[in-house]
Amino acid sequence: MKKKYLVTGALIMSMVVLGACGNKNDKDNTTETKTEMTEGTKETEKTKDTEVAKQGEVVFKGSLKQNAVVDGDKVSLYIIGAEGIKDPDGISKGLVDGVIINTTKELVAGEFKEEDFAEGKMVEVTMKSPSAMTSSLPPQVAGNAIVSVKLLDEKVTEQKDNVVFTGTLKGETKMAEGQMSCHVSDLHAETDPEELVNGFGEDGVILNLDEKQVEDDFKVENFVEGDKVEVTVKGDAVTTRSLPPQIPGMSIVSMKKL
């Protein structure tokens, strides 16, 4: 009987020891898993910190192509000749057609005075990087990407002389959303110090005009294929890279029939 009890006792002790070892292994495994999760969390947080670090700021300056457009607290600035001040990725170099900054008075350094932000004045812009831009020409940057805008006390950018050329209307003149669009071909430069017309090529150019830019009655039926017109645009006019290129209304001074 004693032998039987001894065997039974030995079995019980073995089970207790194995159970303890099992619990220890479970605890070790749990501790190891928690350690791995902690390291993984740290790595994730480190990655996030790195991503945040990449979202730096770009600082550039340029001149206003036109007076600031103000609507309540909102301010729209059309900037040309962008020059990078702090721009390691060369974002400002891609703004060859200028850029429109949509911001607010609150983000303008100092007291905002609309008359100070006139055509030709120099401004400095700080924006987030990367920043979303529209695919339009010129591109536009939304207000949530702008950090600050500062008026610079620098020499006003010299404005280029206007370009005057004549041509013939080609195809149908169209009207959409209060804007006239017409294709002018067979171009002949009258005044073109910047040789802008030479860059248009044989396809001519498409003009997108508002009523104030048309000297004649602003009706599409008054502009038919074959009509001769004279067009005056700004010397630093913005043009698309399409064929034929297009000129937006902001770069057009006037158009009249001959």
Q: 216-235, pLDDT tens digit by residue?
A: 888 889 999 999 999 999 88
How far are the Cα atoms of 29, 57, 95, 136, 138 from residue 90, in angstroms, in the given order? 51, 12, 10, 19, 17
Q: What is the mean pLDDT of the chain?
A: 80
Q: 123-141, pLDDT tens digit by residue?
A: 999 999 887 888 887 889 9
pTM over 0.75: no
Query: Mean pLDDT throughout 30-57?
Result: 50
Whether 220 and 174 have beta carbons less than 8 Å apart is answered as: yes
Query: Mean pLDDT throughout 137-159?
Result: 81
Whether 220 and 191 have beta carbons less than 8 Å apart is answered as: no
- Least Cα distance to 116 among 67, 159, 80 occurs for 67
Give the chain's domains with CATH numbers.
Answer: 57-151 (2.40.50), 163-257 (2.40.50)
